[in-house]
Structures are given as C-alpha cells and as structure tokens.
Amino acid sequence: MTVQQRADLATIRKQMLGEQRKLRLLQIKSNYGLMIGAGIFLLLLLIALIGPLFAPYDPAEMKVVDRLKAPSSEHWFGTDEFGRDLLTRIIYGARVSIGVGLLVSLLSSLLGLVIGLYASYYRALDHILMRICDGLYAIPGVLLAIALMAALGASVTNVVIALTIVSTPSVARIVRSAALSVRNLTYIEAMVVQGASSTRIIWRHIMPGTLSPLLVQASFVFAEAIISEAALSFLGVGIPAPDPSWGNILQAGKLVISKAWWMIVCPGALIVLSVLSLNLLGDGLRDYMDPRISGKGRKS
C-alpha cells in the first residue's frame, strides 16, 4: 500500500465517521421525547443550581400578615402558612429534591455497576450478590425506605442512604444481565486466553458494554427517587422542616388544603414536570441506543 493510498483510506474513514456522527445527531434530533425531556430537565437542573440567586425572597423569612396569601404579582405562587414566599421555597426545594434524586441515581449507579459487573464475572459471587438483591427487591421500595428512615432518623443524608439501598438492586440486575451478554462474546474469551487480568477485562472490556442500559436505568432511578423523596417527606419521615423540599411543602399544604390550593398545586406541578422529563429522557435514550425495541421499529 502506497503512502497516497493510505492517506486516501484515512480520508474516507474520516468522512464515514463524520457521516455516522451526522446520522446520530439526526437521530437525536428526530427523537422528540428525548429532546423535550432533556430540555425540561436541564431547565429544572438550572433552577436548582442558580435559581436561589434569583429567588425573590428569603426562604425562611416569615411574615405573619402575609399568611396563606393567594398567588399575586407580589407572590407568584402565593405564600405558605408562615407567610413565607412559596416560589422561593419551591426554588430552594428544587435543590433538595433534585439534589437527592441526582445523588441517589449517581450512588446507586456506581454501586450497581460494581455489584453487577463482579456478579457477572464470578459465579460464586453471583449467587450471593443476586440472592441479596432478590431479597431487597422483594420488599416494596417505598416501604423499605420508610423502615430504613424509621431506623436511621429523618435527615437529608439518611434519605439519600435509604433510597440508594432501595434502588441499587434494580441497577445491579440490569448491569449484570448486560455484562453477561458481553461476557459470552468471543473477544472476552480472547482476552482471557491472552492472559489479561480480570480487573482489566471487567473494567476495560465488559464495563463499556453495560453503560447504555445503565444510563437508561439511572434516569428512571432519578425519577423514582424524586417521587420517593416526596412521599417520605410527605409522611414526615424524609426531609425535616424547616428546610424546604417539594415533599414537605406538600405535607404542610395538606394541613391547609381547604384554604390554600396553591400549596398543593405548585410543588405538585414541579414534581410531575421533573418526573415526566426524566421518564421522557429515559425512554428517549433507550430508543436512541436500541432502535429495535422502540415502537417505531415494530410498526410494519
């Protein structure tokens, strides 16, 4: 092969890669669910991150005269039972609620990844780890979280711990099954024959194959964690007052339900919006990464 031919080949390869990238971009763009989900979610993330800078009031500032005021130009979302501005509290609450969701999905992805990968690689470990996961999985999620919170005590850290314990088994299972299908491929066998260390095979060669299902599951775990945090805080075993979270604003709202609809509707809308965007994101990612299982592929 001459130098010229090699250079030509390189250009062709580059062109093909460029085409591929364009095609992928096109796929993402035509996936409306993914785009809408990602858009709304980024907006909510932004609100949680820099929203407090723009919040009109202090989240803890109480004004007795302004108790339970309906939404107005002064207080867009109205005020709560202590006269605190609800919009401000919802913005600060986004930090807690979205922060908890993010931490839970990160931590359980990490734990689930390690557990799933090692379970798929070592038979003996597989039996032990998967039985533990089965057991944890058999206890309905919110109930397990309630019991854990009862033992640990209500605090933000404990909510994250409890929900991570609840969601890790589902991640571990998904990583394990993805890892198992990679593990049976010939190139892993080739790596073993070449004498690569198990650590290298697991992390360099099997792990990348599990990332896309992991990412999809992480977005569902995120959504589920937001719902669970809200449920726990609503029951009074989650984020303790006076720190605002969407769940404990709802808890306070329940007590004044006949007087202040905005205390239910406003935080509720934020919960629905964030869960909806994460579900759209997860579904969209799944369709994008594996077009075979999408609804579009099956229509004939």
Partner 1 sequence: MAAYLVKRILSLIPVLFVVTVVIFMIMHLTPGDPAASILGLEASQEEIDALNEKLGLDRPILEQYINWVGGLLRGDLGDSIFMRQSVGQAIAEHIGPTLSLAILAQLIAVILAIPFGMLAAYKRGKLLDISLMGLSLVGMAVPSFLLGLLLMLLIGVELRWLPIAGYKPLSSGLWEHLKFLILPGLSLGTIQAALITRMTRAAMLETMSHNYIKTARSKGLNEIRVITGHVFRNSLMPVLTVLGQSFGTLVTGAVVVESIFNIPGLGQLIINSIERRDYAVIQGVVLIITIIYVGINLVVDLLYGAVDPRVRLGRR
Min CB(42)–partner 1 separation in Å: 17
- Which residues pair with residue 79 across a beta bridge? 85
- Per CB under 8 A, does 236 bind partner 1? yes
What is the distance of C-alpha 40 from the center of its chain? 14
Applying the rule CB under 8 A, the residues between 115 and 144 that interact with partner 1 are 131-132, 134-136, 138-144
Residue entry with tokens 């130098």: 3
Residue 235: CB minimum distance to partner 1, A = 6
Structure tokens at 266: 């406003």
- Residues 38-57 contacting partner 1, CB under 8 A: none
285 is a site residue for partner 1 (CB under 8 A): no
Query: In angstroms, what is the minimal distance from the CB of 279 to partner 1?
Result: 6
User: Least CB distance from residue 56 to partner 1, whole Å?
Assistant: 25
Beta carbon nearer to partner 1, 39 or 153: 153
Q: At its nearest, how many Å lie between partner 1 and the CB of residue 199?
A: 28
Contact segment (CB under 8 A) with partner 1 among 44-52, 115-123, 195-203, 272-280 equals 272-280
Closer of 202 and 237 to partner 1 (Cβ): 237
Which of 128, 98, 62, 63 is closest to 229 using CA atoms?
98
Q: Which stretch binds partner 1 (CB under 8 A): 54-62, 65-73, 207-215, 269-277?
A: 269-277
Please state the closest distance from residue 257 (CB atom) to partner 1, in A: 6
> Residue 202 or residue 271: which is nearer to partner 1 going by CB?
271
Q: Tell me the window of 71-79, 94-102, 207-215, 230-238 that interacts with partner 1 (CB under 8 A).
A: 230-238
Q: Which is nearer to partner 1, 199 or 300 (CB)?
A: 300
Among 221, 237, 266, 281, binds partner 1 (CB under 8 A): 237
The residue assigned the tokens 């969701």 is 101
Kindly tell me which of 26 and 269 has the beta carbon lying closer to partner 1: 269
Nearer to partner 1, 206 or 271 (CB): 271
Q: What is the 3-state secondary structure (H, E, C) of the chain?
A: CCHHHHHHHHHHHHHHHHHHHHHHHHHHHHCHHHHHHHHHHHHHHHHHHHHHHHCCCCCCCCCHHHCCCCCCCCCCCCECCCCCEHHHHHHHHHHHHHHHHHHHHHHHHHHHHHHHHHHHHCHHHHHHHHHHHHHHHHCCHHHHHHHHHHHHCCCHHHHHHHHHHHHHHHHHHHHHHHHHHHHCCHHHHHHHHHCCCHHHHHHHHHHHHHHHHHHHHHHHHHHHHHHHHHHHHHHCCCCCCCCCCHHHHHHHHHHCCCCCCHHHHHHHHHHHHHHHHHHHHHHHHHHHHCHHHCHHHHCC
Nearer to partner 1, 207 or 285 (CB): 285
280, 39 Cβ separation under 8 angstroms: no
For residue 8, the number of C-alpha atoms closer than 13 Å in the C-beta half-sphere is: 5
Q: How far is CA 242 from the centre of its chain?
A: 25
- For partner 1, how many residues bind (rule: CB under 8 A)? 48
Cβ closer to partner 1: 56 or 153?
153
300 is a contact residue toward partner 1 (CB under 8 A): yes
In the complex, the residues that contact partner 1 under the rule CB under 8 A are 131-132, 134-136, 138-144, 146-153, 223, 227, 230-231, 234-237, 250, 253-254, 257-258, 261, 264-265, 268, 271-273, 275-276, 279-280, 295, 298-300
